[in-house]
Amino acid sequence: MRIVLGVAGGIAAYKAVLLLRLLREDGHAVRVVPTRAALEFVGRPTWEALSGEPVSTEVFEHVDEVAHVRIGQEADLVVVAPATADLLARAAAGMADDLLTATLLVARCPVLLAPAMHTEMWQHPATVDNVDTLRRRGIHVLDPVSGRLTGPDTGPGRLPEPEEIAAAALALVHGRTSDLAGRRVVVSAGGTREPIDPVRFIGNRSSGRQGIELARAAHERGAQVTLVAANVTLPVPPGVHVVAVESGEQLRDAVRSAAKDADVVVMAAAVADFRPVRTATAKIKKQPGVGPTPIELVETVDILAELVRRSPREGQVVVGFAAETGDEAGDVLEHGRRKAIRKGADLLVVNAVGADRGFGVEHNEVTVLDRAGAEVARAAGTKLEVAHAVWDAVLPLL
Q: Residues interacting with ligand CTP, by CB under 6 A?
A: 248, 267, 269, 271, 273, 300, 302-304, 320-323
CA distance 206 to 270: 6
Backbone angles phi, psi at 301, to 5 degrees: -75, 135
CA distance 249 to 193: 10
Nearest distance, CB of residue 248 and ligand CTP, angstroms: 6
* Cβ closest to ligand CTP, residue 47 vs residue 321: 321
DSSP line for 92-120: HTT--SSHHHHHHHH--S-EEEEE---HH
Sign of CA dihedral 383, 388, 393, 394: positive
C-beta separation of 113 from 91 below 8 A: yes
* Cβ closest to ligand CTP, residue 181 vs residue 298: 298
Sign of CA dihedral 331, 332, 333, 339: positive
Smallest CA-to-CA distance from 317 within 185, 213, 182, 177 is with 185
Smallest CA-to-CA distance from 130 within 84, 89, 83 is with 89
* Cβ closest to ligand CTP, residue 183 vs residue 252: 252
CA distance 227 to 47: 31
Nearest distance, CB of residue 247 and ligand CTP, angstroms: 11
CB atoms within 10 A of CB 327: 10
Helix, strand, or coil (residue 140)? strand
CB atoms within 10 A of CB 285: 9
364 labelled catalytic: no
* Cβ closest to ligand CTP, residue 149 vs residue 255: 255
Nearest distance, CB of residue 322 and ligand CTP, angstroms: 4
Smallest CA-to-CA distance from 107 within 71, 65, 143 is with 71
* Cβ closest to ligand CTP, residue 9 vs residue 320: 320
Nearest distance, CB of residue 358 and ligand CTP, angstroms: 11
The CB-side HSE value for 28 (13 A sphere, CA atoms) comes to 25
Pairing between strand 2-7 and 29-34?
A: parallel
Backbone angles phi, psi at 61, to 5 degrees: -95, 155
Smallest CA-to-CA distance from 301 within 248, 227, 245, 231 is with 248
CA distance 354 to 293: 29
Nearest distance, CB of residue 300 and ligand CTP, angstroms: 4
Nearest distance, CB of residue 279 and ligand CTP, angstroms: 17
CA distance 252 to 135: 46
Nearest distance, CB of residue 303 and ligand CTP, angstroms: 3
Nearest distance, CB of residue 368 and ligand CTP, angstroms: 13
DSSP line for 185-210: EEEEEEB--EEEETTEEE-----SHH
* Cβ closest to ligand CTP, residue 101 vs residue 300: 300
DSSP class of residue 65 equals G
* Cβ closest to ligand CTP, residue 82 vs residue 358: 358
* Cβ closest to ligand CTP, residue 81 vs residue 323: 323
Of the candidates 204, 231, 351, 364, the residue annotated as catalytic is 204
Active site residues: 204
